[in-house]
Amino acid sequence: MTVLVLTRPQDATADLVIAELNSRGVPVHRLDPGDFPEALMVAARIDSDRTSWSSVLRGQHRDVSLADVRSVYYRRPGTPRLHPEMPEQDARWAQAEAQAGFGGLLYSLPCLWVNHPHRNRWASYPPVAVAAAVRSGLSVPRTLITNDPAEARAFVSALPGQVAAYKALGTVHPSDQDDRPQALWTTQVRPGEIDESVRRTAHQFQEWVDKAYEVRLTAAGHHLFAAEIHAGSDASRIDFRADYDSLTYKLCHVPEATARGVRALMDAFGLRYVALDFLVNPQGRWYLIDVNPNGQWGFIPDLRTPITRALADLLERAHP
C-alpha cells in the first residue's frame, strides 16, 4: 500500500516527509496534479459491483493504482497544466473539466487524508473557523466583520485603548496599480481612521490583545507541537510575518484546556493536521487568531524533525 503525496515538483517540506517514509521502507508515490493531462494519463472505471473507482495513474516515472493508496498527503498540488497551444476560451473549459474529472477522482479516494482539501477549504473561512473555535472552548479576541463604517467605529471605540487589529479575511494578496504584489500585515486601527471606504467590502476588526509572545501550535494527529515566537523588532511585534529575521523560537507546553480545545476544533472540521497561531497575553491567556489547515511547519528548526515523524506516522498507519 502506497502513500500518495500530492504536491508540486519543488516542495522541500514534502521532501522531509517523503524522505522519512523512504527511510521506513513505506512505498510513496509523489504526484503533481499539474501534470494532468499532458504528462499524466488516467482511465478510471466504476460499476455497480464496485464501491470505489478502479484506476491506474500513469505518470512519467511510475504508475500507481488508486486501490493501492493507503493515505494521501495533500501539500501544495499544482493545477492542471493544459496544452500551451489551446485557445484561452477552450483552456478555461478544459481546466474546469480536468479539475472536476481528475481532481474529483482523487478527492473520491476513501482513505486517510492529511487533509482532504474540502475540509481545508471549510476551515479556511475565518468566520467559520472563529465560531468553531469558540464552540471548541478556545478563547478568541472580540471580533467584528462588517462593511458598516459606523459599526466599525463603534466597535473600535469601545475597545480598551480604542485600538483594534485589522486583519484581511481572505487569501488573495493585494497588488498595486502596476500589479506588483503588496503585503497586508495585521495593523493597528483607531476610530478616527475609519471612513466610508469600509463600505467597499467585508472588513475584519479584532480586539487588540497585548501579547507577551505568540505561539505557533502545530497538530499532527493527536500530537501537539508548540513554540513561542518572540518578536525582536517593532514590525514583528505587530505581525511576526513582517520580519522573520528578528524572530526567536522556544518550545513550549500547551495548557491542557487549550489542548482540549484544539482537539475539539480538529474534530469539528475533520482535520488530521492544522497549524494554529495564538497570542499569549502577560497573564498567560492564549487567544486563537489564525487557523491554517495546511499551514507551513518547517520554519521552526527544533520542531522540524518531530513534526516530520508525526506526519509520517499518520500517513504510514493510515488511521486516526
Partner 1 sequence: MTLTMDRAQTRPAVRPFGLSKAVPVADEKLIPPTLRLCPKRQISVAEGGTPFISEPSMKSQFETTSQTREDSQLADDKDNDTD
**Using the rule CB under 8 A, is 272 a contact of partner 1?**
no
Q: Which of 158, 244, 250, 317 binds partner 1 (CB under 8 A)?
A: 244
Beta bridge partners of 160: none
Q: Which of 2, 120, 218, 258 binds partner 1 (CB under 8 A)?
A: 120
In angstroms, the CA 9 to CA 29 distance is: 12
Task: Convert 2-46 into a string of H (helix), E (strand) and C (coil).
Answer: EEEEECCCCCHHHHHHHHHHHHHCCCEEEECHHHCECCCEEEEEC
DSSP 249: E
Binding flags for partner 1, 141-180, as an x/- string (CB under 8 A): -------------------------x-x--xxxx-xx--x
Q: Tell how far CA 120 is from the center of its chain.
A: 7
**Using the rule CB under 8 A, is 182 a contact of partner 1?**
yes
Nearer to partner 1, 10 or 89 (CB): 10
Nearer to partner 1, 209 or 291 (CB): 291
- The interface region with partner 1, picked from 105-113, 131-139, 252-260, 299-307 by CB under 8 A, is 299-307
Q: Which of 98, 132, 227, 275 binds partner 1 (CB under 8 A)?
A: 275
Consecutive H or E run containing 120: helix 117-123
Nearer to partner 1, 255 or 306 (CB): 306
Nearer to partner 1, 209 or 271 (CB): 271
What distances in angstroms separate CA 182 from CA 31, 40, 125, 172, 242, one per listed residue? 31, 35, 22, 10, 12
In angstroms, the CA 116 to CA 99 distance is: 15
Ranges within 6-35 binding partner 1 (CB under 8 A): 9-13, 15-16, 18-19, 22, 28-30
Nearer to partner 1, 37 or 295 (CB): 295
Sign (positive/negative) of CA torsion 79, 80, 85, 88?
Answer: negative
Ranges within 203-222 binding partner 1 (CB under 8 A): 203
Q: Shortest CA distance to 113 belongs to which of 299, 293, 272, 277?
A: 272
In the complex, the smallest distance separating the C-beta of residue 187 from partner 1, rounded to whole angstroms, is 5
Nearer to partner 1, 141 or 293 (CB): 293
Number of residues that bind partner 1 (CB under 8 A): 59
**Using the rule CB under 8 A, is 183 a contact of partner 1?**
yes
Q: Which of 195, 210, 234, 302 binds partner 1 (CB under 8 A)?
A: 195
- The interface region with partner 1, picked from 43-51, 97-105, 154-162, 193-201 by CB under 8 A, is 193-201
CB atoms within 10 A of CB 54: 13
Binding flags for partner 1, 49-88, as an x/- string (CB under 8 A): ------------xx-----------xxxx-----------
Nearer to partner 1, 255 or 268 (CB): 268
> What region does 184 belong to: left with phi over 0, alpha with psi -120 to 50, or beta?
beta
The residue type at 160:
P
In angstroms, the CA 35 to CA 89 distance is: 20
Q: Report phi then psi at 144, rounded to 5.
A: -130, 130
Task: Decide if 174 contacts 184 (C-beta within 8 A).
Answer: yes
Which residues contact partner 1 by CB under 8 A?
5, 9-13, 15-16, 18-19, 22, 28-30, 61-62, 74-77, 117, 120-121, 123-124, 166, 168, 171-174, 176-177, 180-185, 187, 194-195, 197-198, 200-201, 203, 241, 244, 275, 292-296, 298-299, 301, 304
